[in-house]
Homo-oligomer: A and B are copies of this chain.
């Protein structure tokens, strides 16, 4: 038995997406750049997918650029705006402390190239304050990039307000919507964003494909140079089935969104309520402004990887911090940025649900947690200290 509760890391491919892909994988293998009927048919399908995706986020088809995923979209968006700004003497960028590494590491690269980066606080609840953005904006600010929803704690940011501030001040605004698209309403116009990143595998679409939305008039520079694909902004033979599968998955997710938000939030609340009786444990983030399916908890006195692997022994797939930093020994930069003490941040658990999950699964997860947490605490010298009221360091 497997209970998959790691949907913020990646999701199961939906039947709808799989079926949309299979047709192309079996027969419709043309290169959209080819002039013959097989190529042109592939091109038509790609353009239909572009239109579908544009419709899902309130964009125009020619504002959609297909990429290999969320990371590439983030990199291209940030580098484009940064270099565009630099040519105009603007070398300051604003972001937040708990962005995804695709954003933060790109900013690190820019810092080495002489850019100045301001990372605004995310506070204890994991939510950026628009007024902090407003007061961080300077004459030489080239870009503001703030994620729509955080991948580890699920908090939703006040994107509309931030977008409005950026628009008023004439600063390019990018939002990494990788965790939001397909899960909560995303509209580039209410967001007032100039660029927005999407990754298909986060909403039951295929892996290896994403989208960079770029508003008409915002200058986009290729990250990958070569052929004329994507109106000269992203070279490389199109991953046609990925593109078509992504559109199918997103259309479905958007169609069923109201329902799934209700369903999935109820599952998440069942978890939060269900762990309420575990002493010295708490939920990170903000229950009000949160993705429907993501919940992040800390259990004092235990270490996350052990918890994770014992849950895995029960067939439960979960995560400790974000998947990308696994293998790293530092505790999650997200929790630290929210002021969680290092020693407690080590004991974090992220469960991320979607509409494939069931109540029964939640109950199994809860009973596993109730068995494993006390066990790990029983062998933990840290827990012993906590019980004795000693200072843990």
Contact = CB atoms under 8 A, between A and B. Distances in A.
Contact of A69 (B10, B29, B100, B236): B236
B9 A225 contact: no
Interface stretch (A31-39, A129-137, A166-174, A251-259): A31-39
A13 B328 CA distance: 37
A209 B238 CA distance: 10
Contact of A207 (B33, B103, B242): B242
A299 interface: no
Interface string A95-129: 00000111101101100000000000000000000
Interface of A: 2, 4, 6, 9-13, 18, 21, 25-26, 29-31, 33-39, 68-72, 74-75, 100-103, 105-106, 108-109, 199, 201, 206-209, 223-229, 235-242, 305, 308-309, 311-312, 316-320, 323-328
Main SS of chain A's interface residues?
A: mixed
User: In the assembly, how many copies of this chain are there?
Assistant: 2
Given A34-B319, A228-B327, 12 more contacts: A6-B39, A11-B29, A13-B26, A18-B26, A25-B206, A68-B208, A74-B226, A101-B227, A102-B226, A105-B225, A105-B235, A239-B242
A33 B321 CA distance: 11
Nearest to A315: B37
Nearest to A108: B225
A323 B33 contact: yes
Given A2-B38, A102-B226, A326 B208 contact: no
Given A18-B25, A25-B13, A324 B228 contact: yes
A224 B72 contact: yes
Contacts of A235: 71, 75, 101-102, 105, 324
B34 A239 contact: no
Nearest to A75: B224
Contact of A71 (B12, B226, B308): B226
A109 B37 CA distance: 34
Nearest to A313: B37
A31 B326 CA distance: 11
A69 B305 contact: no
Given A239-B68, A239-B208, A33 B324 contact: yes
Contacts of A33: 9, 323-324, 326-327
Given A10-B29, A29-B10, A69-B237, A317 B102 contact: no
Nearest to A242: B208
Contacts of A319: 34-36
B68 A323 contact: no
A342 B35 CA distance: 21
A39 to B, nearest CB: 7
Given A237-B10, A305-B35, A226 B29 contact: no
B29 A317 contact: no
A109 B68 contact: no
B227 A38 contact: no
A178 B305 CA distance: 41
B39 A229 contact: no
A31 B208 contact: no
Contacts of A68: 68, 72, 208, 224, 236, 239
B75 A225 contact: yes
A105 B226 contact: yes
Contacts of A239: 68-69, 206-209, 242
Q: Which of A2, A68, A318 has the most CB of B within 10 A?
A: A68
A312 B71 contact: no
A13 B37 contact: no
Contacts of A26: 13, 18
